[in-house]
Amino acid sequence: MQQPSAESGVVVEDLCKTFKVPVREAGLKASLSSLFHRETRDVAAVDGVSFSIQAGEVVGFLGPNGAGKTTTLKLLSGLLHPTSGRCSVLGFEPRARPAALLRQITLVMGNRNQLQWDLPAMDSFELNRAIYRIPRADFVRLRDEMIELLDLGDLVNKPVRNLSLGERMKVEIAGSLLHQPKVLFLDEPTIGLDITMQKRIRTFVADYNQRYEATVMLTSHYMADVQALCKRVIVIHHGRILFDGELASLADRFSLDKTITARLADGEEVKVSAARSEIAAATSKLLGERDVVDLTIEDPPIEDLIERLFSSEQRP
Amino acid sequence: MQGRDPHRTGAARLALTFLRVGVMNEVQYRVNFFIQLVQSLLTIATGLTALALVFSQTDDLGGWTRPQLLAVMGVFTIVGGMIRSVIQPNMQRVVEDVREGRLDFALTKPADAQVLVSVRDVRLWQLTDVGVGLIVLVIALIQIGDGVGWQAIVAFVGILAIGLVAIYCFWLMLASASFWLVRMNEVQELFDGVYRAGQYPVGIYPGWLKYGLTFLVPLAFAVTVPSEAVTGRLTWQAVTVAGATTVVLLALSRWFWQRGLRRYGGASS
């Protein structure tokens, strides 16, 4: 037994999760024969993943659909049992679902809602208070803080079914944080939301992380989320880690060209691409030859980097 | 809050909170009360007609007189209302949640998952059946005319509680089966069909069905035995068997539920 300790964040060692998937060919005959003899195939959703996250860190978890992101989050929150390997969260082993751990984590899934559909969020908050046994005074303080930070106002008094997608996500997040979790697993928290709402939620997560020194693991398809929140990213594909490190160094690794955009005195706009090593030379050349008013140097879009990462995996 | 058994006090508190919030929610939909009341009255009318037909042919059904059978029908209606108001909605939600992967949220909470999924829902207006059933029961008892002592009432309530727990365990096992079978949409119809058999004392059925309705589906303990209690036919044997079976069912259903949980993978997103 390992000793739970307050310092440790998330530790994952050689984690594997294999699902048995029934194999069945199309057609009636095949379906009938599968009634008696069911063939299954092993699919490794998570295939030997190792990483560790310090307490208080915000890590972006990237990968295409079916890469194993959600499976990893489910393993970490105790919903799934690992096929092999180990993981620990705050020093606890999640698979046993110890209450002491569950009281300190939260799982938010952008495409599901856990608040009671027909009830105002306020009532669902009350239910969470009972589940987490939050003392009344703490509960009221935190609830009002969430209402203010997320600008919920009167939304908490309307039945959840009457809220818009974005509003629902905001109350959802508020409800998931009333017990002041130390570790947040956020699975696509901004999916389907408009830009303003995405920003709001992003700011809020950053704020919460600062305020409570909470560890955050975030998956998102929106690179803006990741860029705004996470210094470090873990890229996962086919259940394996392709990259684990600072977002900035991802660009170095693939040495993609940077883009220099210059606005000239006559109003013309010039774009020049240059490799990282030649960026200084290219810039001074441009400044020397043309009458430049304004100049920006941009990293390649993160989407391009990720795409490059995935395609490099396919040709080993 | 930290009592001698914090786990248990937590469960009771949790159940009460959910009940309170659920009732508040149901009160909003007052029209359902009238719909349910009409439904309850229709059902009892159908039942009474059937009973009248039976007793136009005979004065005695498997040793039960007409007013005694009326009492059984009252108990049957009361128990049905309780099942449909608190047991069935929760268990059906488990089946749905397993299929749609929503059980995730119940499992990431620091409360006993079985307790949590068993108290989440309440259908207040289904309790109209309890009211209608009580009226029928009282009328039956007046017809029997022996007078009912307080011991009989205490025994009735106690046995009724045991019977409801047994039915809950049975439903929990049905719901847990969805971890393996995933699609169990018809399970409620199956239960309703079987439950209807409880309208008559299980003793009138042939042997195999009698035992099935006692130990397989614990209907006997939920309806027949409480009816015996209130009509002065209760034996200590019946109480002992009901109690012992319910304890076994409690352990068995919890074991089955936990086995199922281990299989739960959640629907992927």
Please write the tens of the pLDDT for every residue from A221-247. 777 888 888 989 998 988 999 889 998
DSSP state of B83: I
Query: With an 8 Å Cβ cutoff, is A112 touching chain B?
Result: yes
**HSE-CB of A97 using CA atoms within 13 angstroms:** 19
Q: How far apart are CA B112 and CA A102, in angstroms?
A: 11
For residue A144, the one-letter residue type is D
pLDDT tens digits, B100-156? 878 888 899 999 999 999 999 899 999 999 999 999 999 999 998 877 788 888 999
For residue B104, which residues of chain A lie inside 8 Å, CB to CB? Answer: 74, 79, 107, 109, 112
* Interchain contact, A74 vs B14, CB within 8 Å: no
Residue of chain B whose Cα is closest to the Cα of A111: B269
* Residue A78 pLDDT greater than 80, yes or no: yes
Q: Where are the beta strands (DSSP E) in B57-172?
A: none
Nearest to B217 by CA among B253, B261, B258: B253
For residue A105, which residues of chain B lie inside 8 Å, CB to CB? Answer: 108
* Confidence band, pLDDT 50/70/90 cuts, at residue B269: very low
Distance to chain A for B14, nearest Cα, Å? 6
* Residue A173 pLDDT greater than 60, yes or no: yes
* Interchain contact, B110 vs A112, CB within 8 Å: no
Topology at the third CATH level for domain A55-82+93-250? Rossmann fold (3.40.50)
Which of A80, A127, A132 is the closest to B110 by Cβ?
A132
pLDDT the model gives residue B5: 47
Nearest to A69 by CA among A122, A11, A24, A109: A109
Which of B13, B105, B269 is the closest to A114 by Cβ?
B105
pLDDT the model gives residue A296: 85
For residue B113, which residues of chain A lie inside 8 Å, CB to CB? Answer: 97
Nearest to B203 by CA among B173, B171, B235, B172: B235
pLDDT the model gives residue A182: 94
Which of B13, B24, B110 is the closest to A103 by Cβ?
B110
pLDDT the model gives residue A315: 46
pLDDT the model gives residue B180: 85
Number of residues in chain A: 316
ipTM value of the model? 0.79
Q: Which residue has the higher pLDDT, A311 or A263?
A: A263
pLDDT tens digits, A3-62? 444 457 899 999 999 888 777 667 777 777 766 777 778 888 999 999 999 999 999 998
Query: With an 8 Å Cβ cutoff, is A99 touching chain B?
Result: yes
* Interchain contact, A130 vs B18, CB within 8 Å: yes
Backbone angles phi, psi at A285, to 5 degrees: -65, -45
* Confidence band, pLDDT 50/70/90 cuts, at residue B84: very high
* Interchain contact, A99 vs B14, CB within 8 Å: no
Distance to chain A for B114, nearest Cα, Å? 13
Residue of chain B whose Cα is closest to the Cα of A75: B265
Chain B residues contacting A, CB < 8 Å? 1, 10, 13-14, 17-18, 21, 24-25, 101-102, 104-105, 107-111, 113, 116, 262, 264-266, 268-269
- pLDDT, mean of residues A202-210: 92
pLDDT the model gives residue B267: 44
pLDDT tens digits, A141-172? 999 999 998 889 999 999 999 999 889 999 99
Which of A71, A79, A126 is the closest to B104 by Cβ?
A79
- pLDDT, mean of residues A87-108: 93
Which of A116, A126, A131 is the closest to B109 by Cβ?
A131
**Neighbour count for residue B226 (Cβ, 10 Å):** 30
Give me the torsion for CA of A47, A53, A59, A61, rounded to 10°.
Answer: 10
Chain A with chain B: Cβ pairs closer than 8 A? 72
CB within 8 Å of A176: residues ≥ 6 apart: A106, A107, A108, A114
Q: What are the strands of the beta sheet with A292-298, ordered from one edge?
A: A269-274, A258-264, A292-298
pLDDT tens digits, B181-222? 867 777 888 888 888 888 888 888 888 888 888 888 888 889
pLDDT the model gives residue A56: 93
- Each domain of chain A, given as residue ranges in start order, spans 55-82+93-250, 254-314
Distance to chain A for B17, nearest Cα, Å? 7
